[in-house]
């Protein structure tokens, strides 16, 4: 039966080849939650909320995206330096179940999040090569991958949370002003919130500065 309440939204399909399980899991748990929420913020909420408020929220999200992307790239550079200093060939690592996922890009901020997951996958491939070469302790390897997944997933959780709250506040304001056409917070926006929050963890990890991981500092000087 046709869903008469669903709107027809524009999107572009982007194919993302993901080698590592960690990137595949991050995409599965975070991308749709983030994309639905960021579309609601960028398009739907603008019809009912204050423009300044929407732009302020977008600015905060852009900062998180830019910081995460910059930190991932810095980590990749460090891992490449460690590999070079220790004679490791990064391209030698293969994966048993690489996949190509379809990312439906419904806004330019969706494209940015998809790109962060792709670059995270690149980071993990570098980390795997260094770990398989014995330069990273198992405990550090597990901690680093967990913290990065949690950080990327928390971006999706954060966006979902602020959009949900803004929708609720806008609806209350509209009801007080006797405006009846403000949409309720969609189930798609908040669906899976508990699972996503549980996967992402309760706190955002510290920035991955050069001294954050002891084995990185040690091997950089090798």
Axis crossing angle, helix 138-176 with helix 21-39, rounded to the nearest 10: 10
Please report the pLDDT score of residue 65 as a whole number: 96
CB-based contact 30:196 (threshold 8 Å)? yes
Residues 155-169: b if buried by 16+ CB within 10 A, e if exposed: bbbbbbebbbebbee
Q: Do the domain assignments include residue 16?
A: no
Q: Residues 116-162: pLDDT tens digits? A: 999 999 999 999 999 999 999 999 999 999 999 999 999 999 999 98
Q: Residues 102-123: pLDDT tens digits? A: 999 999 999 999 999 999 999 9
Please report the pLDDT score of residue 148 as a whole number: 96
Q: Do the domain assignments include residue 12?
A: no
Q: Do the domain assignments include residue 192?
A: yes
Q: Do the domain assignments include residue 8?
A: no
- In this structure, the number of other CB atoms found within 10 A of the CB of residue 100 comes to 8
Number of domains composing the chain:
1
Least confident of 47-56, 82-91, 177-186, 195-204: 195-204
Q: How does the average pLDDT of the chain come out, rounded? A: 81
Q: Do the domain assignments include residue 2?
A: no
pLDDT band at 60 (very low <50, low <70, confident <90, very high): very high
Q: Do the domain assignments include residue 49?
A: yes
Structural domain including 54 reads 23-220
Distant-in-sequence, close-in-space partners of 86: CB < 8 Å, separation ≥ 6: 130, 133, 135, 219, 222
Which regions of the chain does DSSP assign to beta strands (E)?
12-18, 99-105
Q: Do the domain assignments include residue 110?
A: yes
CA 198 to mean position of chain CA atoms: 15
Give the predicted TM-score (pTM) of the model: 0.77
Please report the pLDDT score of residue 126 as a whole number: 95
């Amino acid at each position: 039966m046709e869903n008469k309440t669903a709107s027809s939204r524009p999107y572009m399909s982007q194919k993302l080849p993901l080698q590592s399980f960690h990137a595949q899991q991050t995409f599965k748990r975070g991308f749709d939650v983030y994309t639905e929420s960021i579309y609601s913020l960028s398009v739907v909420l603008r019809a009912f909320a204050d423009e300044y408020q929407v732009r302020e929220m977008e600015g905060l999200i852009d900062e998180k995206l830019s910081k995460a992307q910059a930190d991932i790239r810095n980590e990749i550079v460090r891992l490449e330096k460690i590999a070079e200093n220790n004679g490791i060939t990064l391209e030698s690592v293969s994966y048993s179940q690489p996949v190509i996922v379809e990312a439906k890009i419904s806004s330019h901020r969706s494209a940015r999040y998809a790109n962060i997951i792709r670059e995270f996958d690149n980071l993990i491939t570098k980390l795997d090569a260094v770990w398989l070469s014995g330069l990273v302790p198992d405990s550090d390897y597990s901690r680093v991958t967990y913290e990065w997944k949690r950080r990327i997933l928390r971006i999706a959780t954060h966006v979902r949370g602020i959009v949900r709250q803004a929708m609720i506040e806008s609806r209350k304001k509209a009801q007080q002003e006797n405006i009846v056409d403000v949409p309720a917070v969609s189930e798609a926006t908040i669906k899976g919130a508990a699972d996503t929050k549980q996967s992402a963890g309760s706190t955002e990890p510290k920035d991955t500065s050069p001294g954050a991981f002891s084995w990185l500092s040690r091997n950089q000087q090798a």
